Amino acid sequence: MRWSDPQSRPGVTVEIQILGPVEVVSDNGVVLIPRRQGKLALGIMALEANKLVLADRLTDLLWGDQAPARARAVLQSRISELRLALSEADMQKSVRLATKPGGYLLEIDPMLVDAHRFRSAVEVANVRSTPQDETAAVLRHALDLWRGPVLGGWLPDSSQEIVSQALESARLSTIERLYEVELELGHNALAAEELLDHALTHPGRERLTELLMLAQHRSGRTAEALQAFDRCRRWLSTELGIDPGSALQDLHLAILRNDQSSTSAAIELQGSSYTSALPTGDFRPRRPETLPPGPIDFIGRRSEVEQLRVVLGRSGSGHTTPLAAICGPGGIGKTALALHVAHLAAPNFPDGQLYADLHGASGAEAADPHQILSRFLRAMGVDAPPTSLDEALDLFRTLTSGRRLLVILDNAYDAEQVLPLIPGSHSSAVLVTSRIRQHLLPASTTIQLDVMDAEDAVELLARVAGPSRVRQEPLATDEIIKLCGQLPLALRVVGGRLAMRPHWTLERMVGVLAHEHNRLDQFRDGGLDVRSSITLSYQGLDQPLQQLLTATGDLQVHELSVWQTAALMNQSLDEAEELLDQLFESQLVGVHGRELTGHARYRMHDLVRLFAQEQAARITGSTEANSARQRAFGGWLAIVETMHRSAYGGDYQTIHGSAPRWTLDRLLTDRLSRHPLAWFETERQSLLAVVRRLAELGATELLWDLACTASPLFQMRRHFDDWETVLDTALASCRANQDIRGEAAILYRQGGLATDRRDHAQARALYIQAKTIFDAIGDLQGQATMAAHLAMLDRFEGDPQAALAGYQTALPGMRDSADHAGEAFVLRGLGQAYQDLDDLERADHYLRQALDTCERHGIHRAAAQARFWLGMLRIRQQRFQAAQEMFAVVLDACTQLGDRPGEVQALRGIGLCYHHMGEKTLAASYLQDAHRRVVQPRPTLLEGFIRKTIEEISKDDRPAEAARDPR
């Protein structure tokens, strides 16, 4: 077989050189590519010619861990410059750089790239029927293509290794093969001269030293041959702590004995990575059949199955081996899906199937690729696989060349473990599963597996536990699926336990699973164990990641935000985000929405959360755990205060304790505080979890301060049930730990909740209890606050004179304590009371004072409330246009703030204006909209007033009154 250089063919107009500094050569000379990053990007894409290269992978390879702040934008700029350079060189007919979803594709004849021509030449030279002299010539031509390190060695060290490892290994194997041929041809002196540099440069390649010793010995330079052995032996001992292999030691002994037969046979016996690896004699390759049985109860995953079958069906149709990756956390069903698809696709791979569990869940016990290659080779009929990885790799690629094999690599840890196990022929296909997000794998398709959908989960449970039981208890079935987190492994275990207990009802199993503290114990049945599965992933984490997962478990929250992680780990936001991304890569958290700052939010699966809580229980009380907890809870208190101040315009109308705060990043809090109620909605469930955890830990002062500060946020978003839970929890903790000031602060907030729920008697009792405590401890702000709220109840109950007296009593205390929002609340109350008494002039005076106070101190919500009541006064004054303009301003302000009660009141006011102006249809529309927004499961005071207004305007002759309102 003869080989001709494709570059000698007529019509070739371009060559991309990457076996050395990257260069593009055309008929007109070297193409100028202005920046090194552009050259490197071209080189990487040329190495993977006609294959999509993901933008994220390019970024990782080009910059490693030193990526610029806007790496994606920089990459796009370099690609644009590269495309322009190729266009200006008029190379569109030979090279096309296409932008594809997620990355870039270099469309080019691979033979126009020196690396691909190198591989092609080596393949031709390794054909056994090629004459030795021609083989040597082809191999020298192949090696002449190298001008230095791959891509000039310009990539970061970690990237350079990934990109160049396989090519560099092939180069060294080719050098070994060349000098085997030269020795077989008798060119001993030539080989001795040329091999010396190679052996010195690569002392760990024993075969190079072996060939050098043979060449030197045969050239009459035996002393140098023995020196070469000693040099290699000392290097191996010093650097690796090992002795030379048996082949090198045997050759050394043969030279010492001057055993010509042994030294003559050394080439044939040891051979190169090609010749020695090929079995001799009557070797007949076997058809490997190592695929385990497929799952008998496989359910669902229809779209994923179809995607994978399409990828595997591409084998033999392109220039690369089709590779599909299935990624997902432990227990998600990756192996089951892979085996199911493998058995479906097996008929398309008549030369056999190879399966290996790479044990890569934690990384610590990950299988050695050489061991797996040896297993594969034995399965293919090689009784004694080569002892070196390079030789085993070459033999595997040789034996798989042209064959249609399906390779399943289960539970891979990283790309380095997988790449040596990919067959050397595009007629085969590879299916990989991994708990790590394998963005560095050259995969045609990567499927990120999620939990089962509810319908498939029901079917799986029915198959394992019995369909009749599932049909008979549908509610219990749904609850079991929820408690299992829709995780296939957990469902199989629970189904199996039910199958072994036919006398159990599904409701009984729900009761067993309901207890969080031992739920993971119920997900263990023989070899199936959810806890063990999660443990493997946990053990594969670096220590800071284990610490973060444990600390998050200690907080007992479901979601992880960047700012909370920064507090837990005492790190910057960037450092915290990097840790979270690493947990995401390890499949222990998923992305669950996005922060207002643009950061991702992360969420633990419920069973991972329970595991994290178990880990946290082991370190409860440690200095590290206490410090992380204190920072996190201090961060929560600080950020809730920030949101309260942003919503109210200041830290007003609340009672604080002295629990320590943790200082959060100023830029982050500034951005979040632009939308305080949107932030609150995002974090509400986590806030509830923190409240529960604080109660468990007995952190009473921090708990009541947090509950008191967060109360207006619950009130503005109308989450009354959650608000009640938080306050009840805080009150119980205060009483259990005899914190009377905290008790008074919570009683005050409970009075506000009772007021909103129209239970005035309960509200009065709570305010009086709080006032009694504030009087006893001499808390002036608390005393004034209670006097003002008791006056508000007097007004609601139809006694404006008593309300006036109460407000006048409260006003000095509000001013003395500098509670400007409280002062505005009292001034507004005075205006409302005078309005009830038809003293519209005094009402206007106090309402204007309230509005001036709010605007002077930037108290946004109270300003909207004061402006609303001025609008209601304008209605009483029959100045309907002026009132409508005020209500429009209120609606806009409350909508921007997210203040639902304020929005509803503004709609109510606009509806009243339209009613008085004779626009009955518009009036009814606005009021119905207000009612729709305010409806709660339990009636509230505001809903009652909206209903009353609707009833009054339905009577044409009785316009609504603007009095006795909660605002």
Looking only at the bridges linking them, the beta strands covering 528-529 and 524-525 are: antiparallel
- Dump pLDDT digits (tens) for 213-265: 999 988 888 888 888 988 998 888 888 788 888 788 888 888 887 766 545 55
Helix, strand or coil, per DSSP, at residue 355: strand
Query: For residue 270, what pLDDT is reported?
Result: 43
User: Residue 808: its pLDDT value, please?
Assistant: 93
Which tens digit of pLDDT belongs to each residue from 490-539? Answer: 888 888 888 888 889 999 988 888 887 778 777 777 667 777 878 878 88
Residue 9: pLDDT band with limits 50, 70, 90:
very low
Contacts of 838 by beta carbon, 8 Å cutoff, 6+ apart: none
Residue 276's pLDDT is what? 38
Whether 948 shows a pLDDT value over 50: the answer reads: yes
Segment 19-25 shows an average pLDDT of 90
Predicted pLDDT at 349: 87
Q: 200: closest CA among 163, 175, 181?
A: 175
Which of 78-92, 197-211, 948-962 is most confident? 197-211
**295-307 pLDDT, tens per residue?**
877 888 888 888 8
Is residue 281's pLDDT more than 50? no
Q: How many residues does the chain have?
A: 967
3-state helix, strand, coil in the chain (%, to 5): 65, 5, 30
φ/ψ (deg, to 5) at 107: -90, 115
pLDDT (average), residues 327-340: 88
What would the mean pLDDT of 477-489 be, rounded to a whole number? 88
One-letter amino acid at 367 equals A
- pLDDT tens digit string along 728-782? 999 999 999 999 999 999 999 999 999 988 899 999 999 999 999 999 999 988 9
pLDDT at site 408: 94
Instruction: Identify the H or E element spanning 692.
Output: helix 676-697
| Dihedrals phi, psi of 433, to nearest 5 degrees | -120, 150
Percent of the chain with pLDDT over 90: 24
Rounded average pLDDT over 543-558: 88
CB within 8 A of 794, min separation 6: which ones?
Answer: 800, 802, 803, 806
- 92's tokens: 């569109």
How many Cβ atoms are within 10 Å of 325's Cβ, its own excluded?
A: 29
More confidently predicted of 948 and 690: 690
Instruction: Give the model confidence (pLDDT) of 807-833 as tens digits.
Output: 999 999 889 888 888 899 999 999 999
Q: What is the pLDDT of residue 407?
A: 93
From residue 241, alpha-carbon distances to 22, 228, 522, 966 in Å are: 38, 18, 48, 83
- Please say if the pLDDT value at position 159 is more than 90: no
pLDDT number for residue 967: 40
Q: Mean pLDDT for the chain? A: 84
Which span out of 2-16, 130-144, 802-816, 929-943 was modeled with the highest average pLDDT? 802-816
CA 730 – CA 634 distance, rounded (Å): 17
- pTM, 2 dp: 0.57
Asked whether 791 and 755 are in contact (CB, 8 A), the reply is no
**pLDDT band at residue 440 using 50, 70 and 90 as cut-offs:** low
Pairing of the two strands 103-108 and 53-54 = antiparallel
Residue 284, pLDDT above cutoff 60: no
User: Residue 725 pLDDT more than 80?
Assistant: yes
The pLDDT of residue 649 is: 65
